[in-house]
Amino acid sequence: MEEEQVRHLLQSIVHPETGEDIVSSGFIEHVAVAAGKITVVLRFAKTHDPFAIKIKNAAEQLLKSHHPESEVLVVVKEGGQPKRPEPKLTTTTGGIAKIIAVASGKGGVGKSTVTANMAVTLRNMGYRVGILDADIYGPSQPKMFGCEGYIPDAEQEDGQDRIVPATAQDVKIMSIGFFIKPTDALLWRGAMATSALKQMIHQTRWGALDFLLIDLPPGTGDVHLSIIGELKVDAAVIVSTPQQVAVADVLRGVEMFRNSNVNIPVAGIIENMAWFTPEELPQNRYYIFGKGGAKRLAEECGVEFLGEIPIVQSIMEGGDGGHPAAGIDSRVEEWHRAITEKVVEKVMKG
């Protein structure tokens, strides 16, 4: 009974959250076989991994059933990073020039709407654009581009499975929403989302793109880590509203990107819903959520303020109607273009 055999046996145990076996996921810190005793040390990255005990029991049972003559001891250690396994799938992002992640401290600030309108603005500027919608809490890009119900085809390319993205309004779109029903979202997130996202990252047939925008879930979490770990993100932009009181949430996001292991430049903060302009009074600006909140936030976080987008009926209607307003309302396009040009300039500079 050798250590390698123990590892081999443990390969049949899968972590329910990632769907990957605990050996190639790097959870096995130590295996020792000596004097009729098998000792295994499992190291979980999280301090309270909800599956730790379940996995420990499964490992003990498995080893005991195969080696009833041995004493089996499985020890759980928590915290600390397990070794990141090498991605097994070859990536399909080689044809993408720049990857920009769009983040927010909280939900409902218009992160997805800004992503969609930035994509359309980039398209209008002549760039080839794609969106990876990784917002597992509420994937909204399919609705915003009118391609709900799209079922991605799988195709073979050089002997590998590739997933074909939707193309809507000249923007390539791959969304976690294509793989889940809206009613599933709550149950689904966490459990299978990470492995589905990995597939989307590594198997989508993007072709050549100038920019890929990633619509991240709000806040910071496992999806962010998985994307940062699997993709070379060139820059992050953060969307906030003027009344975003939770400075701490945005700061956490900025720190996540700036972490020395991550090192993703934060291009800046965009203020969405900055003021309200009624259709019939296009010159009037009502600062209903307060004035200058995101600018102050940018100062506090030490990042650039990229510009403002007001609350406009056409932005909301465009999102609901499957046509981002930047493609049909020239004022909306102008607001987005001023911001997008700054982002492009920063990203190109590197």
> Which range binds ligand ADP by CB under 6 A, 2-10, 93-101, 258-266, 310-318?
310-318
List 110, 130, 142, 324, residue binding ligand ADP (CB under 6 A) = 110
Question: From the CB of residue 115, how many other CB atoms can be counted at a distance below 10 Å?
Answer: 27
Q: Does 108 bind ligand ADP (CB under 6 A)?
A: yes
> Which range binds ligand ADP by CB under 6 A, 89-97, 252-260, 280-288, 308-316?
308-316
Q: Does 315 bind ligand ADP (CB under 6 A)?
A: yes
Query: Amino acid letter at 144?
Result: M
| Contacts with 284 (C-beta within 8 Å, 6 or more apart), sequence order | 277, 278
List 77, 316, 334, 345, residue binding ligand ADP (CB under 6 A) = 316
Minimum CB–partner distance for residue 42 and ligand ADP (Å): 36
Nearer to ligand ADP, 98 or 111 (CB): 111
> What is the enclosing helix (H) or strand (E) of 162?
strand 160-163
Return the exposure string of 98-108: e unless at least 16 CB atoms fall within 10 Å of the residue's CB, then b: bbbbbbbbbee
List 139, 165, 177, 319, residue binding ligand ADP (CB under 6 A) = 319
Q: Does 264 bind ligand ADP (CB under 6 A)?
A: no
Helix (H, G, I), strand (E, B) or coil at 248: helix
Q: Does 103 bind ligand ADP (CB under 6 A)?
A: no
Are 21 and 82 spatial neighbours (Cβ–Cβ below 8 Å)?
no
**Angle between helices 222-230 and 193-203 in degrees, nearest 10:** 20
Minimum CB–partner distance for residue 71 and ligand ADP (Å): 53
List 13, 312, 339, 343, residue binding ligand ADP (CB under 6 A) = 312
Tally the C-alpha atoms within 13 A of residue 330's C-alpha that lie toward its C-beta: 0
Nearer to ligand ADP, 54 or 252 (CB): 252
Minimum CB–partner distance for residue 108 and ligand ADP (Å): 5
| Sign (positive or negative) of CA dihedral 315, 319, 322, 324 | positive
Q: Does 112 bind ligand ADP (CB under 6 A)?
A: yes
Nearer to ligand ADP, 119 or 273 (CB): 273
Structure-token match 């983040």, residue found? 103
> Which range binds ligand ADP by CB under 6 A, 126-134, 225-233, 243-251, 306-314?
306-314
Positions in 132-151 near ligand ADP (CB under 6 A): 140
Distance CA 298, CA 82 (A): 34
Terminal-residue alpha carbon distance, the chain: 53
Structure-token match 């403002």, residue found? 308
Minimum CB–partner distance for residue 14 and ligand ADP (Å): 32
Are 68 and 20 spatial neighbours (Cβ–Cβ below 8 Å)?
no
Q: Does 109 bind ligand ADP (CB under 6 A)?
A: yes
H helices of 99-232, in order, are 111-124, 141-144, 185-188, 193-203, 222-230
Minimum CB–partner distance for residue 272 and ligand ADP (Å): 5
| Contacts with 93 (C-beta within 8 Å, 6 or more apart), sequence order | 99, 201, 206, 212, 231, 232
Binding mask 266-295 for ligand ADP (x = CB under 6 A): ------xx----------------------
List 18, 25, 113, 204, residue binding ligand ADP (CB under 6 A) = 113
**Sheet strands side by side (includes 71-78):** 28-34, 37-44, 71-78
> Which range binds ligand ADP by CB under 6 A, 183-191, 197-205, 293-301, 315-323?
315-323
Phi, psi of 288 (to 5 degrees): -70, -25
Q: Report the interface residues with ligand ADP, using CB under 6 A.
A: 104, 107-113, 140, 272-273, 309, 311-312, 315-316, 319
